[in-house]
Chains A and B, each alone.
Chain A
Amino acid sequence: MSATALEPTVTRARSDFWPKFRRNRNAVAGSIIVSFVVLVAIFARLIAPYEYDETDILFTWAHPSAEHPLGTDALGRDILSRLIVGAQVSLTVAFAVLGITLTIGIMMGMIAGYFGGRLDAAIMRTVDIIFAFPDIIFAILLASVMGPGIITVIVSLSVVWWPGVARLTRSLVLQLRTELYVDAAIASGTPPFTILLRHFLPNIVAPLIVRASIGVGFIIMAEATLSFLGIGVQEPRPSWGGMIRDGIVSLRTEPYLALSASTALGLTIIGFNLFGDGLRDILDPRIKDR
């Protein structure tokens, strides 16, 4: 250890995030789509040319025109306006489910992985049971108890989504558990929950962010499926899943409703997946092949 060998570089491990981000096509394309959809959702009521529930019985199934750029539906409501307000529904559900599942999943996964023993066994058996249950069946069961609606969708998707987060968190915690700085922290008298927050969370957050951004796409798809089945958001509030269902009935003659809702759904999901894939390459090259 000579004085010359010591001059350490002061770069922080992740100061190269933005240059890498800009060079990653997936991340850039994904973030453009995602920010577009998020902005549309936030300002939906300002952007939408018509009220989403404004019917016009004399003007049903109108084809696209200057007045109605995407045409109208069976009740003469403007499809573009309903699509825009539908983005709000999709994203509200997605972010609510994400918030709930990340909180519960990370907490459960960290407790299971760190403390081990019976606590671990209890949490992981619960996770296994939920995994064994088909998601949609669970949502239908729940809807029959709670009645359909946005809350039912959020609750049922949260119940089926936290176990995945918990499993990932647990496996990440188990990997870190053998690091000596964890033992050093215990030996220094650091209490367990401080250890989890200070030594584990910052070191597992990257793969969790990646997981979350890819998860958004799946959650939006699941919400659309539930609304398609009639369990989700109820009329007159629009949802992309519900619009696809209504559109399919007359797909042959009046394709604009189903087509525009499917396109919005598909683009949004692709956007979040590209964004998540890009983040994964940037933040966590190790889990690339998983």
Chain B
Amino acid sequence: MTALLEVSNLTKDFPVGADFLGRPHAQLRAVDDVSFALAPGETLGFVGESGCGKTTVGRLVLKLLAPTAGTIRFEGVDITSLSEPEMRPRRRDLQVVFQDPYSSLNPRLMVRDIVGEPLRNFGFARDQIDRRVAELMRIVGLPPEYMSRYPHAFSGGQRQRIGIARALAVSPKLVVCDEAVSALDVSIQAQILNLLADIQAQFGLALLFISHNLGVVRHVSHR
């Protein structure tokens, strides 16, 4: 079986400071020579202390950042060398749930449009989108009627569910969860973790689960 995601020797430097010509003073190595592989349907927990570069790895895998060195293969294709237009069709299989449930939802859009955004991008028709969004709302445990509300009307845990619904919308093969529960109360954390575990069992998607909390990762991961 070939790996769904294969990361080899990934390195990322950030420029630090700048002189008056905009040249950086130094480079900060946020990610240093990271390699791992993830099979379809598998969960990989990614644990480390704060500031060790976990979020950066997640953003590199999502191609929100370009690596300094190393390669990322998704379904055998090296995505690090793809241009953004070449990458866009592949984004259907590679979704994300972020840590901060407040910043990750646009306050001016209704839940229907937030969860429907990936569907729109991949050519679903208006009525298909509404039906799918209602279905997703049920999957993540929210009443489908709530889809005409705006994000400010929801609690942190509910927002995180909306973010999960968005990530699931186009049935991706891999979801990157960056501290998906760290901003939530402990009791709600357990609910969201169980939801993620259920969804994974049900849809057989792979999870790259990033957290600084080993207990949380143990709860969901296979390795």
Measured CB to CB, the residues of A under 8 A from B are: 1, 5-6, 8-10, 12-13, 179-181, 183-192, 198-199, 202-203
Contact = CB atoms under 8 A, between A and B. Distances in A.
A127 B103 CA distance: 31
B188 A13 contact: no
Interface stretch (B1-9, B127-135, B155-163): B155-163
B152 A13 contact: yes
B64 A183 contact: yes
A199 B94 CA distance: 21
B191 interface: yes
B166 A188 contact: yes
Q: Looking at chain B, what size class is its interface with the partner chain?
A: 35 or more
Interface of B: 59, 62, 64, 84, 88-89, 91-92, 94-96, 98-100, 103-109, 114, 117-118, 121-122, 146, 149-150, 152-155, 157-158, 163, 166, 170, 188, 191
Most buried by B among A5, A6, A189: A189
Given A6-B155, A186-B64, A191 B104 contact: no
Contact of B91 (A5, A187, A199): A187
A203 B158 contact: no
A8 B106 contact: no
Contact of A203 (B88, B108, B117, B154): B108
A181 B103 CA distance: 6
Contacts of A9: 153
A188 B121 contact: yes
Contacts of B62: 183, 187
Contacts of B91: 187-189
A199 B151 CA distance: 14
26 contacts: A1-B191, A5-B155, A6-B155, A8-B154, A10-B149, A13-B107, A13-B150, A179-B103, A180-B98, A180-B103, A180-B104, A183-B59, A183-B96, A183-B98, A187-B91, A187-B94, A187-B95, A187-B96, A188-B121, A189-B92, A189-B118, A189-B122, A190-B117, A190-B121, A199-B106, A203-B107
Nearest to A183: B64
Given A188-B91, A203-B107, 17 more contacts: A6-B158, A10-B153, A13-B150, A179-B103, A180-B103, A181-B103, A181-B114, A183-B64, A183-B98, A187-B64, A188-B118, A189-B92, A189-B118, A190-B117, A191-B121, A198-B106, A203-B106
